[in-house]
Copies of this chain bind each other. A is one copy, B any other.
């Protein structure tokens, strides 16, 4: 039920996924209102054995207060989804619904992995050579301490390794100068901590211009600057591609629908938040990402990486 074009686009995304991914070992649980979904469910008729429809009598609106809505609407698709995840009846949960409710649900039901100070969200940024860099945090941690950025670096590195399949991903600190010692107080204090880490491949500082270049696969920053950066990138795409119709493969990769959604890293189960304006293609890609997230064993790897040494 999540997103501005639900349930039509969500169900069409499921259809795309089924059409293009013949591996029937992936079984989808579609949570929503049966009456609203009915006009589109016929599209899934050829794949009826590959999904189960779960009725959700309530819907959390895009502008409702997250904590309040989750508490008062236990039969909303978001509340039911987190319930299934908690009980182990689902392996991953994704929605393009109320972002705040997705975050609150993730934090308070699925909860952080032991040892993680703050879960984080990450976004791929297109690279001029056709690849992507992975920027995090992009908005849920706007006031960070060095130890938070250190964990974002570790989480991003593990995601790049496990889900994106990059061996020894290069990790960089987003800064306003290249040399060690440059930047604000936070960056100056974070740099030496990153340099000391043995579990990541830290390559030093990068600047705003390097976000689109082949300098580091994982770029770490505070959520405030990361959020400004992704919204600038979205705006560039909207203006040059959507409004002006400029065709270019680099520009095309700014289209968030290509990667589908934003994973929450550092919680006990895979959760992916979609953009409210997601269409079928984005939903299809979110489902694929969720599948990779599960099969990669990332969550287990994070748990092991952050396990405190036995007393």
* Residues in chain A within 8 A of chain B (CB atoms): 128, 139, 142-143, 174, 176, 183-185, 187, 207-213, 221-225, 227-236, 238-240, 243-244, 246, 248, 250-251
Contacts and interface: CB of A to CB of B under 8 A. Distances in A.
Contact of A225 (B212, B228, B240): B228
A212 B235 contact: yes
The A contact surface, by secondary structure, is helix
Nearest to A182: B142
A129 to B, nearest CB: 10
A290 B293 CA distance: 55
14 contacts: A142-B185, A176-B223, A176-B224, A176-B228, A184-B222, A184-B223, A187-B224, A207-B227, A207-B231, A208-B234, A213-B235, A228-B228, A236-B236, A246-B246
B248 A246 contact: yes
A142 B212 contact: no
A224 B183 contact: yes
A128 B235 CA distance: 10
A208 B184 contact: no
Contact of A211 (B176, B235, B246): B235
A143 B223 CA distance: 16
